[in-house]
Copies of this chain bind each other. A is one copy, B any other.
Amino acid sequence: MVERVASSEVANRLNEWYDTIKRQDIKKAAIMKHDLQKAMDDMEEDQNVLLYYNLIDSRYKLLLEQYDESGTILESLKDQTERADTDNLLQYYYYFFSGLYEFNMNNFTHAIRLYHKAENHLTTIPDEIEHAEFHFQLAVAYQSIDQNFFSINHAEKALDIYLKQENYVSRIALTQMIIAANKLDLNQYLAAEKLYKKAILIAVDSNQTFIELLGYYNLGLCYEVQEKLELARDCFEKALDFDFPQENKKETYLRIKYMLGRVLFKMGFLQEGVKWFEDAVQLANETNDKIYQVKLEIIHAVYFDQKELSIDEGLKVLKEQSLWHDVEDLAFNAARFYKKEGFYQLASKYYEEGLNAQQKIPSLYEEVGSA
């Protein structure tokens, strides 16, 4: 006779699986799922643990960006979860993950309703770290659709909790950076600078090199939009100065080198800039990053060739992919360069191009069936 596995043991392993998913460790989460499936087969019958497994599985699918599958699982669990006698924690997971799912589907107001329901269940859940996780995820989500005050509100709640814990230093620094990103969106530059610097200090104290580097990169972006080019340059150079295995973070390095090159071009240091520009081109080719290839072509066309046609072709590619933030940024960048150089007709053209792109940005957040 086969020995049955105790359901409480499986539940513990499900907790660990969820922790792994939250840490976004896809590789380990896949192995754990494989083992868990075996354990589930051998487990004594327990409807609650089965429901728990399915809920965490829906969250796992979100991590893998298999949204349809996640939605199908959640839909199948709806009736069972919404029964009044269902465990509070499981109801919380159901509404929270359903909120994450609907958010990913661009159903923002529906997601907000679900998050609200999840929060009502959250109040009775003792695990503080799960509270922080909830607020952290909402802060990230709301910042991405410019709902900045709500994002800050949740980020501060998450921060309060993480600050009372040990071993959450990197989350503390990341949460500060989310608040800073909101302040930057609100053009509150001083507040954003302060928070990025704080995040950097926290990272230094805890030897989190990559977070420190990210802090400098973001601080540099914050200076760049303010046209504090000297300071921006310093930050990007510092970010590149770290002794860090670039191989694992090529995408991040590509971004930093692109920005450093661009800032140097803007300052008029073409020869210095071209060194970083070429580095960035190489990284864009290695990672086969079509978007950055185009962005690099555009800035080259602006500062070197002054080839209107190349700029327009580059912008066209970005437009076809609805990268309106990038079109806006690069069109205004070109417009300002041409205005400074006295090419007013070209400047007017790219100002208008930037404004058109700006108008399109909210369409990125368009809700399904909202028209």
A28 at the interface (CB under 8 A from B): no
Report the minimal beta-carbon distance from A146 to chain B, rounded to whole angstroms. Answer: 7
| Structural contact, B153 and A365, CB atoms closer than 8 A | no
| Structural contact, B352 and A336, CB atoms closer than 8 A | yes
| Structural contact, A186 and B347, CB atoms closer than 8 A | no
Q: Measured between alpha carbons, how far is A113 from B150 in the docked complex, in Å?
A: 10
- Chain A contributes a number of interface residues (CB within 8 A of B) equal to 41
| Structural contact, A370 and B188, CB atoms closer than 8 A | yes
Q: Measured between alpha carbons, how far is A80 from B191 in the docked complex, in Å?
A: 36
Interface hits, A344-368 → B, CB 8 Å? 344-345, 347-348, 351-352, 355, 359-363, 365-366
| Structural contact, A186 and B365, CB atoms closer than 8 A | yes
Report the minimal beta-carbon distance from A273 to chain B, rounded to whole angstroms. Answer: 24
Interface hits, A140-181 → B, CB 8 Å? 145-150, 152-153, 156
A13 at the interface (CB under 8 A from B): no
Residues of B within 8 A of A31 (CB): none
Interface residues of A (CB under 8 A from B): 108-109, 112-113, 145-150, 152-153, 156, 183, 185-188, 190-191, 194, 332, 335-336, 339, 344-345, 347-348, 351-352, 355, 359-363, 365-366, 370-371
A selection of 5 A-B contacts at a CB cut-off of 8 Å is A186-B365, A187-B360, A188-B371, A191-B370, A336-B352
* 8 closest A-B pairs by CB: A344-B344, A351-B351, A186-B362, A347-B348, A187-B362, A344-B345, A108-B149, A190-B371
